[in-house]
Amino acid sequence: MSKKYISQVILLSGAVLIAGCGGTVAFQGAQAQSVTGTPPPPPPPPPPPPPPPPPAPPPRVELRDNKIEIHEKIQFAVNKATILEASFSLLAEIGDVIKKATHAKKIAIEGHASSEGDKNLNLKLSDARAKAVMKYLADHGIEKERLTAKGYGSSKPIADNETEEGREKNRRVEFNIVEQDVTSKKIEIDPATGKEKVLEEKTAEVKKEEPPVPTEADKKKAEEKKAQAKPAPAPAPAPVKAPAPKAPAAPKAPAK
Each residue's pLDDT tens digit, 190-243: 777 777 776 565 556 666 665 555 556 665 676 777 677 666 566 666 665 656
pLDDT, greater one: 93 or 180: 93
User: Which range (21-30, 92-101, 132-141, 213-222) has the least confidence?
Assistant: 21-30
Q: Which of 56-65, 78-87, 182-191, 241-250 has the highest mean pLDDT?
A: 78-87
Each residue's pLDDT tens digit, 127-144: 999 999 999 999 999 999
Query: How high does pLDDT run on average in the chain?
Result: 79
Encode the chain in three state secondary structure.
CCHHHHHHHHHHHHHHHHHHCCCCCCCCCCCCCCCCCCCCCCCCCCCCCCCCCCCCCCCCEEEECCEEEECCCCCECCCCCCECHHHHHHHHHHHHHHHHCCCEEEEEEEEECCCCCCHHHHHHHHHHHHHHHHHHHHHCCCCHHHEEEEECCCCCCCCCCCCHHHHHHHCEEEEEEEEEEEEEEEEEECCCCCCEEEEEEEEEEEECCCCCCCCHHHHHHHHHHHHHHCCCCCCCCCCCCCCCCCCCCCCCCCCC
pLDDT at position 256 is 47
Each residue's pLDDT tens digit, 142-151: 999 999 999 9
| pTM, entire model | 0.58
Each residue's pLDDT tens digit, 49-72: 999 988 888 899 999 888 999 999
pLDDT, greater one: 21 or 237: 237
Mean of the pLDDT values across residues 2-11?
A: 55
